[in-house]
Copies of this chain bind each other. A is one copy, B any other.
Amino acid sequence: MNNKVTPKILPGFMELLPDEQILFNKIKDTIREVYESFGFLPLDTATIEYSEVLLAKAGGETEKQIYHFNKGDNDLSLRFDLTVPLARYVAQHANDLVFPFKRYQISKVFRGERPQKGRFREFYQCDIDIIGNESLNLVYDAEMPAVIYNVFKKLEIGSFTIKLNNRKILNGFFEAIGLKEQTAEVLRIIDKIEKIGEENVKAELLKLGADSGAVDKIMDFVGTKGTNAEKLERLKNLGVESEKYNEGIEELEKVLSYIRMFGVEEEAFQIELTIARGLDYYTGTVYETVLNDYPSLGSVCSGGRYENLAEYYTKQKLPGVGVSIGLTRLFSQLRENKIIETGSKTLVKALVLPVDESCVEVSIKTAGLIRNKGVVSDVYYGGKGMKQKMKYANRCGIPYVVIIGENEVKEGVVALKNMNTGEQQTVSVKEAAGIIKGDK
C-alpha cells in the first residue's frame, strides 16, 4: 500500500470535528424537541426518488442543481428539499393519515450548486408543515411563529424578530394599482430602499413604467411604520380598493391575535410588508426570521401558507402552512460570527483512570455504576503515569476524573477530581455519580 488516495471531501459539504458536531447536534436536538412538543410527527422520506416524481413540478434553476442519475433502468434524483417529498408522501398515504397532518422532518437535502461562501451542496433542513384536508384553520398560521419563537428562545442565540406578511395584501395591492405583472420587479426595487435611498427607488419604479400615483401608493405602502397595531390601522386606511387586499389584512390581523394567545412576546413578531417569499407558491401568510444583532445573516427561518400542497400528485385539495430552518447554513453562520462557541470535545462527564493494570477491573465496574446513574462515563487505559492520564482528560475537556488506585480498590471508594476547580475528594461511587450529575 504505497499509493495513498488523498482523504478529502467535496467543497460545499459540511463535516465537523467532534466539538463542533456535539454543538451542532445540541442545536438539532433542541429544534426536534420543540417541534415534537407541539405534536409534530416525525417523517423520514427516501433520499433517492424517481426523477419523474421528484421533478413533477421543478424546472429552471432547481432542475439544474439536482443530483440526477441512472441506476439500472431507473431515472433517479436526490431530494433537493423536504416539501416535494412531503407532497408526494401525503398524496401517496392520504388514506392512512389523520388530518390536519402535522409533521416535521430534519434531514439532509442536496443541491449541486457552484460552491460559494455560505452555500452548501448538502445541508440539513428542519421543516414543519401542517396539512389540512380541503381546508386548514387560520390558527395554524399562528402556530408557525409560536414554534419558531420557542425554538429560537431555546437556542439562546440572542434576540430575533419573526416578520410576517400576507400574500393577499401584496397581490391585492399590486392588482389595485395596476402593477400585478411587475410585482416581482417592484419588490426587488423596494428591497433596495435602505441601500439606495427613497429617491432612487422612486426613480427606478418610474423607469419600470409605474405612474406617479402608483409610485406614491407604493411608497406609502412600504413606508408603513410603527407597532403592529399601527401598521394594520394604516394599511386599512391606505384607500386600496381590493377585496383580496382586505381579506389579507383581516387574515393578518387574526393571525397576530392568535400569535399573542400562543404567548409570543410582542417584540418578537412584526408585520413586514416587503416580505413575499416564493412568488408562485405561497398564497397567504408568509414568514421570515432575522437575528436582530446579525441582520446580515438574512432570514434564518422562512415559510408560509400555500393553497395546495400536492396538486401534481392528487386531485385532493391539501392546503398547508410550513416553515423551514436551513440548519447547516445557520450553524455555519453562527460559528463564523462567533454567536455560538464550542465546548467540550467529548460527551464524557466522568473519566475513570485505573492507576495500574490491577485496578482495571474495579475501574470498568465503577464506570458502569456511574453510567447506570445516567452520567456518560468512560475508562482510559492509556497514559504511562497519572500526569499523562490527566493530560488526556484535559485535552478532551472532561469535567471529572475518577481515580482508582490500590487504596481505593481496598477501601471501596474513589478519588473524584473536579478538573475545573482542581478539587479532589474521596467518596463512594454513588456519591461521585451524584456530585457529577448535580453539576450542570
Contact = CB atoms under 8 A, between A and B. Distances in A.
A25 B45 CA distance: 13
Interface stretch (A3-11, A185-193, A405-413): A3-11
A99 to B, nearest CB: 8
Interface in A23-69: 24-25, 36-50, 52-53, 56, 67-69
B13 A364 contact: no
Contact of A39 (B36, B89, B360, B376): B376
Contact of A263 (B69, B262, B368): B368
B41 A21 contact: yes
Contact of A93 (B17, B24, B25, B78): B17
A9 B22 CA distance: 33
12 contacts: A7-B53, A7-B89, A7-B92, A13-B48, A15-B45, A25-B44, A36-B347, A39-B346, A71-B112, A137-B381, A139-B364, A263-B365
B376 A37 contact: yes
A310 interface: yes
B364 A37 contact: no
A346 B74 CA distance: 35
A interface, how many residues as a size bin?
35 or more
A361 B261 contact: yes
Given A4-B315, A98-B396, A46 B137 contact: no
Contacts of A347: 36, 39-41
Contact of A5 (B312, B360, B376, B382): B312
A181 interface: no
Contact of A15 (B89, B112, B310): B89
Contacts of A157: none
3 A-B pairs with the lowest CB-CB distances in the bound complex, closest first: A69-B69, A39-B378, A7-B92
Contacts of A76: 10, 67
A140 to B, nearest CB: 8
B44 A15 contact: yes
A92 B8 contact: yes
Interface in A354-399: 360-361, 364-365, 368, 371, 376-379, 381-382, 392, 395-396
Contacts of A175: none
A311 interface: yes
B98 A395 contact: yes
A382 B4 CA distance: 63
A249 to B, nearest CB: 20
Nearest to A65: B71
Interface string A204-248: 000000000000000000000000000000000000000000000
